[in-house]
Amino acid sequence: MLWLLATWGARLRVGAGLRVRHRPATGLSRQASDLPRNQPPSPDVVARPVGISSMMRLPVQASPEGLDAAFVGVPLDIGTSNRPGIFFFFLPSAGGDHTITYPILQAMAEKHGPVGLLHVDAHTDTTDKALGEKLYHGATFRRCVDEGLLDCKRVVQIGIRGSAATLEPYRYNRSQGFRVVLAEDCWFKSLVPLMAEVRQQMGGRPLYISFDIDALDPAYAPGTGTPEIAGLTPSQALEIIRGCQGLNVVGCDLVEVSPQYDISGNTALLAANLLFEMLCALPRVTSA
């Protein structure tokens, strides 16, 4: 089931400035539909616990007709190799496990040709196969390379770390021309200078952003299937996403959030905020 979240009205503005159109949706009160912007309804009008638990409390729509942008939820975890129960949040896509990025990039490449990729993750996801399976969340971008979906000279991976049974994926990435930025090269520093280099590398051609929540240190985001210590901080995550503003971002996702492994709810809160930041990084969004 795909859930498309948008706004009521003829042609209204999202909070950050993106304009969205569609036919009236159901799920919230008539009074809420009279809001001038695509934003959560006022608690003076609709009680906070009331209605569908949607991203940003936006109305739910079954069709993408007339939309410029929507959050798409894809609750799929059949490709995970450790703790299951992963849930996706966007186009922005919010996912399940990282396998979901593979068909999304197939669609992107069909429209735009091979795309650049900004991949934020603890893992390279370029293992060839596991337990005999060539399609799982640790092989997503290997399959994308196999099918020519990526412009490999414009692939950057940030936050890579953790133990590994073999160095083959690292050698493979570099042989393909990927830029691999290890987590330890991000410790104790701002990533604004790095993103200036990424911006120059990506140029004005189509770019896809894929953000695995386990790129962040589990102190901030423990609710994920394959946590790795010594990761990125939330402020660095914001620097990465905000560093994409002005680029030709054609799509993005945030994957591998598994809320049941974080009773505090902080992982889901962080993921939702990062998705909002991704929405603000889309090309036609303007900020005050």
Mean pLDDT of 19-35: 38
Is 125 annotated to bind a ligand? Reply is yes
Cα gap 96→94, rounded to integer Å = 7
Q: Does some domain include residue 217? A: yes
Which CATH number is 272's domain given? 3.40.800.10
Q: What is the domain count for the chain? A: 1
**pLDDT grade, residue 284 (50/70/90)?**
confident
Which structure tokens are listed for 249? 């971002």
State the pLDDT at residue 36: 44
pLDDT tens digit sequence for 55-82: 777 777 788 787 777 888 776 665 565 6
Is 123 annotated to bind a ligand? Reply is yes
Q: Note whether 90 and 100 are within 8 A (CB).
A: no
Cα gap 216→38, rounded to integer Å = 29
Mean pLDDT of the chain: 82
Is 253 annotated to bind a ligand? Reply is no
Counting residues of the chain whose pLDDT is more than 70, the rounded percentage is 79
Is 98 annotated to bind a ligand? Reply is yes
Residue bearing the bigger pLDDT, 105 or 284: 105
State the pLDDT at residue 95: 67
Q: Does some domain include residue 161? A: yes
Q: Does some domain include residue 121? A: yes
Residue 212 has pLDDT above 60, yes or no: yes
Residue 101 has pLDDT above 50, yes or no: yes
Q: Does some domain include residue 31? A: no
Strands ordered across the beta sheet of 249-255: 60-61, 4-5, 71-74, 93-95, 249-255, 207-212, 115-120, 150-160, 179-182
Is 119 annotated to bind a ligand? Reply is no
Q: Does some domain include residue 39? A: no
Q: Domain range holding 196? A: 70-280
Q: Does some domain include residue 15? A: no
Computed on alpha carbons and rounded to an integer, the radius of gyration of the chain in Å comes to 19
Residue closest to 253 by CA, chosen among 118, 132, 93, 143:
93
pLDDT tens digit sequence for 227-237: 999 999 999 99
Cα gap 154→202, rounded to integer Å = 6
Mean pLDDT of 90-115: 87
Q: Does some domain include residue 257? A: yes
Q: Does some domain include residue 53? A: no
Residue 32 has pLDDT above 70, yes or no: no
pLDDT tens digit sequence for 171-209: 999 999 999 999 999 999 999 999 999 999 999 999 999
Residue bearing the bigger pLDDT, 177 or 11: 177
